[in-house]
Amino acid sequence: MRSLVKFSGLKGLSNSTKMINRDTLVFGSFSKNPGNNGTVFFNSKFEENKINAIYKSFYCDNISDSYQAAKSLSFGGFAVSMPFKFDIIHLVDKLENPVDEIGAANTVLFLNGLSIAYNTDWIAARDYLEKLNIESLSIAGNGGFSKAIQYACRQLGIKHEVIERNNWNKIYSTENHIFNATPIEIIGDNIIDGRPFTKTGQLIAKSQAERQYKIYSQLFD
């Protein structure tokens, strides 16, 4: 009889116990500031769809080491957040379009012996921006999330500019909506706050997580 291990109190499950065995697929996220949103979302999806998988967020200060660990431990895949969205594309075997053009990735899938990088941020950003019906946008920050927003703007034909340290004063002079793609607070009536704990940030995070789930589903569909 195959032995089972009970993990009690795993966040995101409707009951307090999940059965883990040797066939359980492991997914996770690597971040310098790990949270519980992904853990709750994916474990709920796995349970809802009766998938033998678990998801756990991990603190990470070296994405190369974490990538090698995930690969060695036969992870199904993982997500990355700041500041690793640039570095991860140099570690994987394959870049799924349009990761190369964006220059950043937030999702890795291990499939058929290959590690494949994806970007689901840009699709979530596109869907959000499309509803705003705007012609121009200022984007605060130039990190991995910002790169995805810039790509979404190009796909939608939205004129955009990037505000970073060397031109930060534009925050106070632009008449555009400003998408805050930084971890710092920016105050103003024209701010679209994309930080993860805000209403907008959570909407975008859930949207991109839905797409991550579809990517991971290649392993169990």
Q: How far is CA 183 from the centre of its chain?
A: 15
Q: Kindly report, residue by residue over 45-97, the tens digit of the pLDDT.
A: 999 999 999 999 999 999 999 999 999 999 999 999 988 999 999 999 999 99
User: What is the distance in angstroms between the CA of the first residue and the CA of the last residue of the chain?
Assistant: 26
**Token pair of 2 as six digits:** 């195959």
Q: Tell me the pTM.
A: 0.90
Q: pLDDT-based confidence at 18, cuts 50/70/90?
A: low
Domains and CATH numbers, the chain: 5-120 (3.40.50.10860), 122-202 (3.40.50.720)
Q: Kindly report, residue by residue over 130-144, the tens digit of the pLDDT.
A: 999 999 999 999 999
Q: Quick check: 15 and 4 in contact, CB under 8 A?
A: no
